[in-house]
Structure 1
Amino acid sequence: MTRSLTDDKAWPAVAGARRPFARRSRRWLNRMFERLEAVPLGTGTAGAVTFLGLTVAYGVIVGGHWSDVVDMATAHSGFAIESVKMSGQYETSDSALLAALGIDPGVSLVAFDVGDARQRVMALPWVDKASIQKLYPDTLSVVVTERTPFALWFVNGAYSLIDRTGRVIAEGVDPTPYKLPVVAGSGAPEGAATILSALKGMPGIGGRTRAVVRIGERRWDVVLKDGITIELPEDQPEAALADLVKIDAESGLLSRNITVVDLRLPDRIVVRMPHDVAEQRRDLLSKKPKHAKEANT
């Protein structure tokens, strides 16, 4: 879309107020250029050039802002920014993008600092890449590429959107519209891509994963949709998952009535059952020796 800036009533809200000294300098320069434009044509080229040179020199000395002088000189020559072409922004609002550009009313396209503006645009939460070009005589072109949400980070009772690098895109979001995996715990965003990519390739586990939880910023727990928690080791969690996939294919372990599969020990798998099921199993095992003894008497 193209945003015209000619009669934009939102200038103060969009660009913010300039420094008081800069405003006074620009007002003074405006008056000087208006007087220059009022010089009769018969005055002569040499006189006009001399007057312009003296005016600009005085502005540089008194104002101390070369950019203001260039702004006014080129703006009065038809190079003031009149419109901004913006594309690629979907989650980023037009007003936020304009505010980041920091275009003051009447600023010259020639003097506009594209590098500084790009840094400000890149600092916007959704922006991943940004390209800013000057289209002479009076238009600024801005093309942005926004970040792709990768997962939902649950921390301190709220959800945040993160990208694949772990950067937070938006905080306090409603998770309902997003069909994304959930990561939780301190330090989870930085390693989320690695663990989620590993799970994606694990048959019988990847499609059943509800969330991954970072424990002590050292290791991961995988929570399945049916409530089973898989406790992964700190070292080589992918290898532990691969072993579990193999065991599950052979014995149907993850289809049983269990709550936890502990893979943290290198030489064994520890399985925990729901409390009531564990109690029943203990009762059953405690009775077996007694029945066996009675049968032998």
Structure 2
Amino acid sequence: MQPVGVNAAPRRDPAPTRWQYRMQRLWLTPLFRVAFRVGLPAFLITFAAGIYLSDADRREAMTSTVTSVRDSFQKRPEFMVSLVAVEGCAPELADAIRARLDLKLPLSSFDIDMQAVHDKVADFDAVAEVDVRLASGGILHIGVTERVPVVVWRLGDTLTMLDATGHRVAGLAERGDRGDLPLIAGEGADEATPEALEIIAAAGPFLPRMRGLVRQSDRRWDVVLDRNQRIMLPAVEPVKALERIIALDQAEDLLARDILAVDLRNQQRPVLRLTPYALKEMRRAQGIDVSEEEL
């Protein structure tokens, strides 16, 4: 038995070396761990990709491959649009919408700008609302809510159909083409269409005789009847003024007489304008001798 310490191997020091100690301390740093686990692989991948793509032929080949894969995916049958269906409007408007879109079908749905399609359809005067969506079976569905014309607006020699808000619906060649619609005229009449419709709705007994409404100075209306009679409404509360003259006409048969105009602009002092013949007869009844030139 050898004595302890005689020719025995030296014991290994369990303490880490200085290099090992520094590496252990560094590894405990969160930023270093993230940089080693994420940053270093990312750098190596980027470096390798940069070397690979530095060659122009390789870049062109990769671009061609990606383009080919993308095109083959986008042009699969389930993504192809072969029909444009326009619903909710007249056939003439539907044909005009298809002509404006001018889509070369069949076409991949990825190549159709849905917002551009929506804007082109909404740009039609006759379209109030539009809904564009892709439907199954390769159909581009366009749902349209068409504006409904309620009046004809005459401005100079131009005739235009308007909806209830005063928005343009379409032009009109002849007044007789839409004789079922009431007529409004004058500068700014389109912007006051809602008020005009209220007046027309209140006209009641005058409707068979009404030829239209004329906007005056962009602030008030004249109701034009047959026999060249005119009711000059005030700028404020024209409907109430019209209702009063209707009641007076029903009681006194006012507008059956020789009257050219009923001026209600000053509601506190309504004025009647007589025809030249009626005015002459009234003055004669009063004993006033009036020559034709004075009339």
Give your verdict on TM over 0.5. Answer: yes
Displacement after TM superposition at 1:132 (Å)? 1.7
Check whether the contact 1:161–1:173 (CA below 8 A) recurs between aligned residues: no
Aligned to 2:117: 117
Aligned to 1:54: 63
Distance 1:53 1:224, change over 3 A: farther
1:134-145 alignment runs, 5 A limit: 134-136=134-136, 138-145=138-145
Other structure's SS at 2:247 match? helix
Aligned to 1:161: 161
Check whether the contact 1:101–1:118 (CA below 8 A) recurs between aligned residues: no
* Structure ranking higher on relative contact order (CA contacts 8 Å, 6+ apart): 1
Query: What TM-score results when the alignment is normalised by the length of structure 2?
Result: 0.69
What amino acid is the match of 1:278? L
Q: Is structure 2 residue 259 aligned with structure 1 residue 253?
A: no
* Equivalent-residue separation in structure 1 for 2:91 and 2:277 (angstroms): 49
Q: Which runs of 5+ in 2 are unaligned?
A: 1-58, 290-295
Q: Which runs of 5+ in 1 are unaligned?
A: 1-49, 60-68, 289-297
Check whether the contact 1:152–1:182 (CA below 8 A) recurs between aligned residues: yes
What amino acid is the match of 1:54? T
* Equivalent-residue separation in structure 2 for 1:131 and 1:245 (angstroms): 45
* Equivalent-residue separation in structure 2 for 1:85 and 1:281 (angstroms): 70
Q: Is structure 2 residue 199 aligned with structure 1 residue 198?
A: yes
* Equivalent-residue separation in structure 2 for 1:282 and 1:77 (angstroms): 92
Check whether the contact 2:184–2:214 (CA below 8 A) recurs between aligned residues: yes
Deviation sequence 1:191-249 (CA, Å, 0-9, x none): 12223223323443344322000001011000113431000111121221122122222
Count matched residues: 229
Aligned to 1:231: 232
* Equivalent-residue separation in structure 2 for 1:182 and 1:260 (angstroms): 19
* Equivalent-residue separation in structure 1 for 2:97 and 2:188 (angstroms): 30
Check whether the contact 2:202–2:243 (CA below 8 A) recurs between aligned residues: no
Deviation sequence 1:4-60 (CA, Å, 0-9, x none): xxxxxxxxxxxxxxxxxxxxxxxxxxxxxxxxxxxxxxxxxxxxxx9996326579x
Check whether the contact 2:229–2:259 (CA below 8 A) recurs between aligned residues: yes
Higher Cα Rg, which structure: 2
Check whether the contact 1:109–1:136 (CA below 8 A) recurs between aligned residues: no
* Equivalent-residue separation in structure 1 for 2:60 and 2:82 (angstroms): 28
Aligned to 1:185: 186
* Equivalent-residue separation in structure 1 for 2:231 and 2:160 (angstroms): 24
